[in-house]
Structure 1
Amino acid sequence: MAEFMDVHRGMKGITDDQLMEAHRADLAIEGEEGVHFKHAWADPESGTVYCLSEGPSADAVQRVHQRAGHPADEIHAVPVAV
């Protein structure tokens, strides 16, 4: 499976609890698209959230985020990692 890093903007002031709630919303439906969300990070000051996932395609990742109520602004394939 491919890895993806996605970026969400406009989440200024996001709290730990809000990030966890959004991540749990993704986890609850990820299997329906064959996606697995591995980790999420947030910068409350800039309002940027990053999510690392595995899945069949960027479109599958976006469908999960859209259904969970927080579509990604950008999704990048991560073909090389160490």
Structure 2
Amino acid sequence: MAKFMDVHHGMQGITADQLIQAHQADLAIEKEEGVHFESAWADPQSGVVYCLSEAPSADAVQRIHERAGHRADEIHPVPLQV
């Protein structure tokens, strides 16, 4: 399976609890698309949120995010990792 890093913009002021809730919403339905969300990070000041996942495709990642209520603005493949 491929890895993807997706980016969400416009989430200024996001709290730790809100980040956890959004991540949990993804985890609750991720298996329906064969996706596994590994981690999420946020910068409340800039409003940028990052999610790392393993998935069959970027489209599968986006479908889960859309259904969970937070469409990704960018999804990037991560072909190399150390």
TM-score, normalised via structure 1 length:
1.00
Which residue does 2:57 correspond to in 1?
57
Q: Does 1:27 align with 2:27?
A: yes
Q: Report % sequence identity.
A: 77
Say what the alpha-carbon RMSD is for the aligned residues. Answer: 0.2
Which runs of no fewer than 5 residues in structure 2 stay unpaired?
A: none
Partners in 1 of 2:55 and 2:47 — Cα distance? Answer: 25
Partners in 1 of 2:11 and 2:24 — Cα distance? Answer: 17
Shift of 1:62: 0.2
The number of residue pairs the alignment matches comes to 82
TM-score, normalised via structure 2 length:
1.00
Shift of 1:23: 0.1
